């Protein structure tokens, strides 16, 4: 009984077993093993000489290479490594994207910049390059800032404090006026934000047309 089973199922060699497995896979994928040939139109023709061997050969065929000294250009063979020329980039370079920070990171960055500016200002005052700012005395902290002067001359101290407060307010208003943009600059800034904003690559606009206006109170939200 054992010999009958051994004869009915002979042991296959590894090569035959791999071949039968490949044939089975080819049948499941619906193509024959010899379907793809060397002369298939999908493949490029094999050149007579590869491009990296052309500078070294004296002829255009490998069959002419008999002795190395006669058929090879020995002067081209050196101890140096020849790097191929880089191909030109077909795709345009990707522009650098701006780094988007979270609200906490922006707040931390503003704090660091403010501390650096204050440190530079204090250093300039210490070296005498900048005049030291006057004490910011207000009516709420007059007793802590002026001290005994307020008790001795209260009217004069109050007049001086109110004049200093008005001077600081006027300087603040003057700085705002100097920093304020003209109407032409405001228009230019608005156009730059709409059409030349670096944070967004394109501007999305929706246009609607209303033929019959039913509700009269909706006209304030519709432009002409």
* pLDDT at position 50: 82
Q: Is residue 88 part of a domain?
A: no
Q: Is residue 111 part of a domain?
A: no
Q: Is residue 157 part of a domain?
A: yes
Using DSSP's 3-state secondary structure scheme, residue 57 falls into: strand
| Bigger pLDDT: 61 vs 187 | 187
Q: Is residue 214 part of a domain?
A: no
With a CB cutoff of 8 Å and minimum separation 6, the contacts of 115 are: none
Using DSSP's 3-state secondary structure scheme, residue 19 falls into: helix
Residues in the chain: 224
Tens-place pLDDT, residues 101-124: 899 999 999 999 999 999 999 999
* pLDDT at position 2: 43
Q: Which domain holds residue 156?
A: 134-197
User: Which of 37, 60, 76 finishes a domain?
Assistant: 76
The answer to whether residues 138 and 72 belong to one domain is no
* pLDDT at position 3: 46
Backbone angles phi, psi at 157, to 5 degrees: -65, -40
Q: Is the pLDDT of residue 132 over 80?
A: yes
Q: Are 191 and 183 in contact (CB under 8 A)?
A: no
* pLDDT at position 64: 67
| Bigger pLDDT: 213 vs 200 | 213
Tens-place pLDDT, residues 150-165: 778 888 888 888 888 8
Q: Where are the alpha helices (DSSP H) in the chain?
A: 2-8, 14-28, 68-71, 103-127, 142-145, 148-152, 154-179, 183-195
Q: Is residue 126 part of a domain?
A: no
Of 137, 143, 140, 124, nearest in space to 167 by CA = 137
Tens-place pLDDT, residues 27-74: 555 545 454 454 555 667 778 888 887 888 877 777 766 666 667 787
Neighbours of 162 (CB within 10 A): 12
Q: Is residue 208 part of a domain?
A: no
Look at the chain and report how many structural domains it folds into. Answer: 2
The Cα 135–Cα 161 span in angstroms is: 10
Mean predicted confidence (pLDDT) in 180-199: 83
Q: Is residue 150 part of a domain?
A: yes
| Distance from chain centroid for Cα 54 | 43
pTM: 0.36
* pLDDT at position 214: 66
With a CB cutoff of 8 Å and minimum separation 6, the contacts of 194 are: 203
Tens-place pLDDT, residues 11-29: 566 667 777 776 665 555 5
Q: Is residue 145 part of a domain?
A: yes
Using DSSP's 3-state secondary structure scheme, residue 72 falls into: strand
């Amino acid at each position: 009984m054992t010999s009958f089973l051994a004869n009915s199922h002979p042991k296959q060699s590894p090569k035959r077993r791999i071949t039968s497995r490949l044939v089975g896979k080819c049948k499941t994928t619906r193509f024959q093993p010899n379907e793809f040939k060397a002369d298939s139109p999908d493949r490029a023709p094999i050149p007579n000489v590869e491009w990296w061997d052309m500078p070294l050969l004296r002829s255009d065929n490998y069959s002419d290479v008999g002795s190395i000294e006669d058929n090879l250009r020995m002067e081209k063979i050196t101890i140096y490594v020849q790097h191929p020329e880089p191909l030109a980039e077909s795709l345009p370079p990707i522009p650098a994207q701006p780094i988007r920070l979270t609200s906490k990171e922006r707040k931390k960055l503003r704090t660091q910049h403010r501390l650096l500016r204050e440190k530079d200002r204090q250093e300039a005052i210490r070296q005498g390059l900048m005049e030291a700012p006057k004490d910011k005395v207000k009516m709420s902290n007059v007793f802590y800032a002026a001290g005994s002067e307020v008790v001795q001359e209260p009217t004069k101290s109050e007049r001086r404090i109110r004049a200093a407060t008005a001077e600081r307010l006027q300087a603040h208003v003057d700085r705002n006026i100097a920093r304020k943009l003209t109407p032409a600059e405001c228009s230019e800034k608005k156009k730059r934000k709409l059409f030349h904003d670096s944070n967004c690559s394109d501007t999305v606009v929706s246009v609607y047309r209303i033929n019959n206006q039913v509700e009269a109170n909706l006209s304030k939200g519709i432009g002409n």
